[in-house]
Amino acid sequence: MKIKKAVLLVLISILFNLRAAAVVGLCDSVADIHAKQESVKKQLDQNSNELSGKMDEINQVYQKLSDLEGKKKETEQRITQTQTKLQQAQQEKKNRVRDAKERLCELQKRQGTNTSLSILEKSTSLTQWLRSMIALQRLQSVYNDSLAAVKQSIVDISQAKEQLQGYKSNLVSQERQVNDQKAVLDSQMSDLKKKIADGQSEMKQLADREQQAKAMEEAQKKAAEEEAQKQKQQQVQQTSTKTVDNSKAATSADNVSGSKTLTMSATAYSTEANGMGTYSATGINLKQHPSCVAVDPSVIPLGSIIWVSGYGVSVAGDTGTAIKGNVIDLHFATVAQSMAWGRRTVTVKILN
């Protein structure tokens, strides 16, 4: 009797180990996760360096914009000053032309229209006449030179104003180009910030997965050690663990203290059927570990080790929409096996 109980416990342990192996198969190993972390970290560093470079570029762009704005304001001030000078020069020209007209009118009133003859008539000598004519010519020359200087000043100021306006237009064009460059850099920085945020999120997820993988590997290692210890005890007791038929498993189940017995209706299914998934609700790979029973968790808790008459010892590792109450669904490796089973009334013992 003790030997039978030991055999049953070994079977239960094997089923648990198979289930654990199936779950581990769904996860990456710690080494794989470390490799992914290195890859993500490398990309994060690259993106961070690129972002730093873009920030330097954007700072240079802001400095250019600031310099252009300063030059533009200075140019606008110079244009305003030049416009004021131009208005003053134009007013000076008007004043001098007006003064010349007034002097000419006054001279005509006093000396007549023929100035030279009038001066000659009023001169007491030829020398006085020559002196008066020279003085008049010098006065006219000074006036002409002054008026010409004013006219040239207007031309120079107008040209300076045009140059300043052209310079301002060039500054505006440069400012537009720099703003376009800034918009491109802003977009690139936004993309890099998003990539960095995504990378940081992925690193966090990988850290969580690493902890899960470590826990899973530790559990797998512990289960393997326990299995090795049980096999060693089996060898000492000289108990064969290679095969145990359903009848022996049933006999063993009858002798397990406190086991719960149910009479249920059992249907069958296979992952090989069209539209069926590979993994059970608890993550068991049904292609690798076909022994699995779909149950109603409110009747048989998921993860329970159960014995089903005509099927043997298995794990309650799956669920189904049609599996309610005292109905279970037995998984078979092939569709033919599941069809051969059909629907039967069975005895179910919950072993743990």
Full pLDDT tens readout for the chain, 352 residues = 444 444 444 444 444 444 444 333 334 688 888 888 888 888 888 888 887 887 788 788 888 788 888 887 888 888 788 778 777 877 776 776 677 666 656 655 554 444 555 555 555 666 655 665 565 666 566 566 666 777 777 777 778 778 878 887 888 888 888 888 888 888 888 888 888 888 888 888 888 878 877 777 776 787 778 778 878 777 766 544 443 444 444 444 444 444 689 999 999 999 999 888 888 988 888 988 899 999 999 999 998 889 999 999 899 999 999 999 999 999 999 999 999 999 999 999 998 7
Is 178 within 8 Å of 61 (Cβ atoms)? yes
Tell me the C-alpha distance between 235 and 249, whole Å. Answer: 20
Burial of 68 (0-12, 13-18, 19+ CB in 10 A): buried
Q: Give me the domains of the chain, ranges plus CATH numbers.
A: 245-350 (2.40.40.10)
Tell me the C-alpha distance between 352 and 19, whole Å. Answer: 15
Tell me the C-alpha distance between 104 and 112, whole Å. Answer: 10
In total, the chain counts a number of residues equal to 352
pTM value? Answer: 0.39
Tell me the C-alpha distance between 331 and 273, whole Å. Answer: 11
Q: Count of alpha carbons within 13 Å of 215, Cβ hemisphere only? A: 7
Q: Would you state the structure tokens that stand for residue 205, as one six-digit string? A: 């997820």
| 3-class SS of residue 212 | helix
Tell me the C-alpha distance between 67 and 63, whole Å. Answer: 6
